[in-house]
Amino acid sequence: MVGEAAVMRGRARQWVRGAVAVALMASIGQLTTAGTAHADAPPATTVTIDAAHPFGALPSDFVGLSFEMRELGIGSFDARAGNLVPLMRTLGRGNIRISGNTLDRDTLWVPAGQQPPNPLPDWVQDVVTPNDIARLDGLLRATHWRAEVGINMGHWDATLAADEARTLFATLGRRLLGAECGNEPNAWVGKGFRPPGFGYPQYKPEWEACADLVGSNRIAGPDTSSPTSTGPWVTSFAQDEHARINMVTAHSYSIPGSADATRLLSPQTAASQITNLTPQLNAANAQNLPIRIDETNSAANGGIVGVSDSYASALWAMDYSLLMAQAGFDGLNFHGGLGVCGAPLYNGKFQIYTPICAANTADEQAKVYVAMPEYYGMLMASRMGSGQFLPVTLATDRNVTAYAVRGEEGRISIALIEKDDTAAGSVHIGLNVGVDAEHARVVHLTGPSLTSTQGVAIQGATVDRSGHLPQRPAERVRVHDGTLSLDLAAGSAVVITLGEDDD
């Protein structure tokens, strides 16, 4: 934690510079799939990388998944079955958060050696035991991911909470990034967990009672929703409890349920994604604490058909991940479920926005999942690796965004994301890479149309049934005097890598 804290202190000092860079990014367009160089044609879009002034950080585990506590209780996280392990490993290192509405609403912890009460209390629909935590540990060991796991505060039982906390730390060890005391406490009144008038002053002693039972500073919170109205809650929490937590957490969904793909990909949505969470980010930075958006997706309540499950969500997930990481967030956990794609889970939400789901009931039972379009956007973002962001200047009249990262080994990766409709014409890009290089390697994200739910591919390849993405050779582009030019199709994205050895 000492190294992570030092990074965060540095990031807090860099926040102003990062905010300026983010504003530039939000005003830029995107790029299309890479193509042949056109040195003679004047570029319609120019991108300039400033390799001399790195800022902020892109953490190695900024990619994340979020699931309901119910998934833990029904045995979904099993490294011995299906293809969840390779699907997670394909994304690289990451963070899995297990909590959600089912945590406080209907999940009962049953200690080792005990049987669930018979009959179960009326509110209980899901049971979680130490065997489920052991199964989760197998998944974390196999994937090299870490986890955040929730403790029920909606139906509070101090004895059970203490037993779960002991089990989490004893079983998961350092693979437990943090325990979470409850989920979205700002919504407890509306859900009937607390009486009218309950707010942060009432929440504080309750949370502290849970933290006392956890007995460790590996606690994440407060996991609030509704970011435009809970900034003061998070600010007070970070000020009051900074010595007892290792990470600030908040939730956010980007568009309302009535929105379409164009709105999801609009510069206005990109800008609001940052402004909505700026108070939470400032609160974490003021206390030198990391902050994750550990439950997020395109639209709440399961997502929007034709938007959250479409190719548009791939472009959005890639852009959103890099945008928020550049702004100073340490990671994002995309919420979803492991049931049949598009079908309602037990909690009544259709899992339209999920990155991973089963194609049918037989596959759900076999724990064999498919990668949805959103997954491909997350995977493209993860291809940027870890390192420090580099300032980018973009001039364009298209809906294009651009990001650059220098890895610890010195390699520079550049993401260009073109978010216009795929029927629009390609855009000619002139890219000043800011360093000496002879060649660049270009990997493309493509899809048939923004509303397509099939045919999303990276370098022409799709994730197979084993959970792996077949490796296809990257396009090789010549760099002339620190500049390369390429054509990118509308509605596509690329990751350009400099500094790799030529084959």
Judged against a pLDDT cut of 70, whether residue 27 lies above it is answered with no
As a dihedral over the C-alpha atoms of residue 268, residue 273, residue 279, residue 280, rounded to 10 degrees, the angle is 180
Nearest to 345 by CA among 357, 332, 334, 329: 357
Average pLDDT of 337-341?
96
Percent of the chain with pLDDT over 90: 87
**Direct distance between the N- and C-terminal alpha carbons of the chain, in angstroms, rounded to an integer:** 39
Average pLDDT of 310-327?
99
Average pLDDT of 331-356?
91
pLDDT band at 41 (very low <50, low <70, confident <90, very high): low
Average pLDDT of 388-406?
98
| Model confidence pLDDT, tens digit, residues 262-305 | 999 999 999 999 999 999 999 999 999 999 999 999 999 999 99
Between the alpha carbon of residue 134 and those of residues 106, 250, 276, 405, the distances in Å are 21, 27, 37, 37
pLDDT recorded at residue 500 = 62
pLDDT band at 17 (very low <50, low <70, confident <90, very high): very low
pLDDT recorded at residue 150 = 99
pLDDT recorded at residue 412 = 96
For 348: left if phi > 0, alpha if psi spans -120 to 50, otherwise beta; the answer is left
| Model confidence pLDDT, tens digit, residues 69-118 | 999 999 999 999 999 999 999 999 999 999 999 999 999 999 999 999 99
Average pLDDT of 382-396?
98
Judged against a pLDDT cut of 60, whether residue 36 lies above it is answered with no
Burial of 247 (0-12, 13-18, 19+ CB in 10 A): buried
Nearest to 431 by CA among 61, 4, 49: 49
pLDDT recorded at residue 289 = 98
Judged against a pLDDT cut of 70, whether residue 121 lies above it is answered with yes
The arrangement of secondary structure in 68-382, i.e. its CATH architecture, is Alpha-Beta Barrel (3.20)
DSSP calls for 143-165: HT-EEEEEE--TT--HHHHHHHH
| Model confidence pLDDT, tens digit, residues 50-82 | 999 999 999 999 999 999 999 999 999 999 999
User: What three-state secondary structure class fits 36?
Assistant: coil
pLDDT band at 501 (very low <50, low <70, confident <90, very high): low
Judged against a pLDDT cut of 70, whether residue 502 lies above it is answered with no
| Model confidence pLDDT, tens digit, residues 347-374 | 678 889 999 999 999 999 999 999 999 9
Element (H, E) at 68: strand 63-68
pLDDT recorded at residue 42 = 63
Dihedral sign, CA of 317, 5, 205, 112? positive
pLDDT recorded at residue 273 = 98
Average pLDDT of 455-468?
98
Task: Domain 2-56+387-498: state its class.
Answer: mainly beta
Judged against a pLDDT cut of 90, whether residue 125 lies above it is answered with yes
DSSP calls for 393-412: EEE-SSSEEEEEEEETTS-E
Average pLDDT, the chain: 92
pLDDT recorded at residue 18 = 44
Nearest to 286 by CA among 9, 93, 496: 9
Domain boundaries, the chain: 2-56+387-498, 68-382
pLDDT band at 22 (very low <50, low <70, confident <90, very high): very low
